[in-house]
Structure 1
């Protein structure tokens, strides 16, 4: 029996985030006797998915370039990695702002298939974001294949180049509504009699937590029955916690990300996601799978997330009151079990997504072997 094809995924780290969860969903569902995933990460600490990766047969290589900023050392590290591991003839980069370096080194080392994957539809409007925006323009020149999680994400990074949309697949059945889990989680949160607004996302600028708090603060003044649960972590978490305390915003919970996120959706009554920009917004797919009514940003979040009748989009420019009106008027009696998930399953079922990815990797590796045998 032949050894499996080893694909090297290049990521910041393997925390509980959108792109990391997408990779792990595929990893769990491919035939690992045929294709194995290894990971090059860019922080030295241990992160949420590391132990599972090892248990599935994957390897993790660690660079500290995101911490040290030493690009020269990073180039030498990459050169040594690809020299020591010629088995990596497929690399899959999820880091457009650094990809110009590792894809360039991989090209120099004759790595056959170099995938660049876009997960965002814009950069942050900060000095750092503008600098990243410059760097990502370099990366497509060193890739052989272009992937994106949505049409908008692909057009943002690749402009007029031809790209392939890879839907962020999920295990839909894991998220289906469960009344018993709902009651259990709400009791643990001590919010049994509240109307719970949920949000899942890292505490970063793009997730727009301040706007979410603006909505909730005004809403709470009108109706004390509401509660807000935010699930996530990140650099702005402390700032948001300070604001909650300073403004004395009641019935607000912040919960660290968890592997069993599907259980937490059950406890919510509606899902509010006012992002400034998203490559897709996989949490909206998860929330709809659990039957939740979802409210998200028009123009800022791709249309591909609208796969059930339970999602509404409002422009951020329409202001807080428009969002409050939509939340106040949503039908609390809606039946979460009676939701048509056929379009969602057709587009985002992880088994189908994993099958397509496995086939792509295997075809590319066979092509490499054929080309190599004729040289």
Structure 2
């Protein structure tokens, strides 16, 4: 049987949620049946590049910025260099309209648009250029895709429009996680000591890119409001992004340096969740299917998150609280304190087997996606 060649199009292969999910897929896919390549939009080496190459994946670079008038021509050259390509799988949200248009012109037979984010809130803002872009890209996607995937039902309209369920080419594919990583024992005292966080602190954690979408500034407001109610609390943020310097300055302005630890992105997130954190805070403005939130629940953490997040990510609702973003920081503090008092997460012996039976498990994810790749022509 001839191997099917899949070209994934992403921004860059750093330690983001989509990219980590994609790595888990590539590690597990049947290499006798499928060959994966990656097309990125950066000339800089990224976290996963070395491992991708060790797995036999070739890396291609778009060769021009997305906003450049030369981008379509540069993208076409990159796709041709990767070819022949049987399936192009674009993970670039609404910009997939351009990518799949180029792929169709080149005769790539299977063109997948994959929605990983719910941007409906920003799409509705009174911003004419943004609205025009979203409308144009949705039209381009509809004309040029052969298959559409969305990470959640809530995210699907951002890419495919409100009537997406009427199109049989579109379906939901939850991104999956390797829950085996949460079965390894951890030394809580050693992890806290390594991070400089006393063992008696009640640690509210967050994992996510330091970008506006994740709402870190509001988390600092919550930290400042909580300080007077729980003097032994500590906040632990893990991630990289454009807001690092601004957040560090705001921490100084609010005199929070002693109670907020800001770590860079790292590859031991399950250990940090289980060994360093006591609960998880996730007030994102919008998400598709936030894998960091699912990981926190896999680690047994009670979670407080915004109502903008799809219910599909609320795996153990009895352990969690949901709060509207319009509520002030003081009410979020009250919910955190209620979580601290009342939450009794399911034991790992029951929690992890339950998660492995869901569509959020990576092995089920791989089987589903291999079925998709094998059935489309």
TM over 0.5: same fold?
yes
When residues 302 and 343 of structure 1 are mapped into structure 2, their CA distance, relative to the original with a 3 A threshold, is farther
Partner Cα separation in structure 2 for residue 289 and residue 132 of structure 1: 37
In the alignment, does 2:286 pair up with 1:277? yes
Distance 1:216 1:241 in 2: 14
Among 80, 93, 99, the residue aligned to 2:96: 99
* 2:97 maps to 1:80: no
For residues 256 and 150 of structure 1, what CA distance do their matches in structure 2 show? 28
Are residues 28 and 131 of structure 1, via their aligned partners in 2, closer, same or farther at CA, if it must alter by over 3 Å?
farther
Q: Does 1:307 align with 2:315?
A: yes
Relative to structure 1, is the Cα distance of residues 181 and 362 closer, same or farther in structure 2, using a 3 angstrom cutoff? farther
Q: CA deviation at 1:183?
A: 2.4
- Is the 1:292–1:336 Cα contact (8 Å) retained in structure 2? no
Q: CA distance change for structure 1 residues 190 and 329 in 2, over 3 Å: closer, same or farther?
A: same
Q: Is the 8 A contact 2:221 2:329 kept in 1?
A: yes
Deviation of residue 311 (structure 1)?
A: 2.0
Q: Which moved more, 1:279-288 or 1:304-313?
A: 304-313
User: Which residue number in structure 2 is paired with residue 182 of structure 1?
Assistant: 188
Q: Is the 8 A contact 2:6 2:34 kept in 1?
A: yes
Residue 57 of structure 2 aligns to a residue whose secondary structure is: coil
Aligned counterpart for 1:337 among listed residues 324, 330, 347: 347
The equivalent residue for 1:372 is: none
Q: For residues 12-57 of structure 1, what are the alpha-carbon distances to aligned partners after superposition, in whole Å with 9 as ceiling and x for unaligned?
A: 1011111111211211121123212211100111111111111111
Give the secondary structure class of the aligned counterpart of 1:37. strand
Go from structure 1 to structure 2 and tell me whether the alpha carbon gap of 1:12 and 1:129 turns closer, same or farther (over 3 Å shift).
farther
| Contact in 1 for aligned 2:213/2:284 (Cα 8 Å) | yes
User: Residues 106-117 of structure 1 correspond to what in structure 2 (within 5 A)?
Assistant: 106-117=103-114
Distance 2:64 2:235 in 1: 37
CA contact (8 A) 1:177 1:337 kept: no
- How many residue pairs get aligned? The number is 360
What is the distance in 1 between the residues matched to 2:213 and 2:369? 28
Q: What is the alpha-carbon distance in structure 2 between the residues aligned to residue 218 and residue 355 of structure 1? A: 46
In the other structure, the counterpart of 1:38 is 37
The secondary structure found in structure 2 opposite 1:356 is helix
CA offsets, 1:222-252, max 9 Å, x none? 2221001100011111111110012211221
SS at match of 2:351: coil
Give the superposition deviation at 1:343: 4.8
Q: Is the 8 A contact 1:9 1:37 kept in 2?
A: yes
C-alpha displacement of 1:121: 1.1
Match of 1:194 among 190, 197, 201: 201
Cα separation, partners in 2 of 1:197 and 1:58, compared to 1, 3 Å: same
Structure 2 match to 1:50: 49
TM-score under structure 1 length normalisation: 0.90
302, 305, 327: which one aligns with 1:318: 327
**Long gaps (5+) in structure 1:** 368-375
Judge conservation of contact 2:178–2:362 (CA < 8 Å) in 1. yes
Contact 1:176 1:289 (8 Å CA) reproduced: no
Per the TM alignment, residue 110 of structure 1 is displaced from its structure 2 partner at its CA by: 1.1
